[in-house]
Amino acid sequence: DQQVKQNSPSLSVQEGRISILNCDYTNSMFDYFLWYKKYPAEGPTFLISISSIKDKNEDGRFTVFLNKSAKHLSLHIVPSQPGDSAVYFCAASAASGTYKYIFGTGTRLKVLA
């Protein structure tokens, strides 16, 4: 049972335009969500997070939106740059004390110059 789903395995966007990556979850106990970016041969790099008490968090070109009623979050990258080309994972955790993350399967973003 996949508790965190990223239904788009890949996305191509023109440089300068907006990239929107989506993530859905099924477990209503999740209360903390994160986005990681992963380049080949490297570990995931933390991008941005959001707690369930918020519906939006912004950090520079990256904004994460959380819709708790729809159990949906999205990552917006504006403007997209070629260096943003990577695999993006969303992850969720419940406040169980362990903070174990449940990851989605990832979306490969390609930003075209």
Partner 1 sequence: ETGVTQSPTHLIKTRGQQVTLRCSSQSGHNTVSWYQQALGQGPQFIFQYYREEENGRGNFPPRFSGLQFPNYSSELNVNALELDDSALYLCASSLKGAETQYFGPGTRLLVL
Binding residues vs partner 1 (CB under 8 A)? 4, 6, 32, 34, 36, 41-46, 49, 89, 91, 93, 96-106
How far is Cα of residue 98 from the mean position of the Cα atoms in its chain? 21
* Residue placing its CB nearer to partner 1 in the complex, 22 or 79: 22
Q: How far is CA 100 from CA 32, 33, 109, in A?
A: 11, 11, 25
Q: How far is the CB of 103 from partner 1 (least distance, A)?
A: 3
Distance CA 12, CA 28 (A): 31
**Of 15 and 103, which CB lies nearer to partner 1 in the complex structure?**
103
Q: Which amino acid is at 7?
A: N
Nearest-approach distance from CB 22 to partner 1, in angstroms: 15
Q: Least distance to partner 1 from the beta carbon of 15, Å?
A: 27
Q: How far apart are CA 75 and CA 88, in angstroms?
A: 9
Nearer to partner 1 by Cβ, of 13 and 89: the residue is 89
Question: What is the closest distance, in whole angstroms, from the C-beta atom of residue 1 to partner 1 in the complex?
Answer: 11
What would the two tokens of residue 112 be? 């075209």
Indicate the residue among 30 and 63 with the shorter CB distance to partner 1: 30
By C-alpha distance, which of 20, 28, 18, 15 is closest to 107?
20
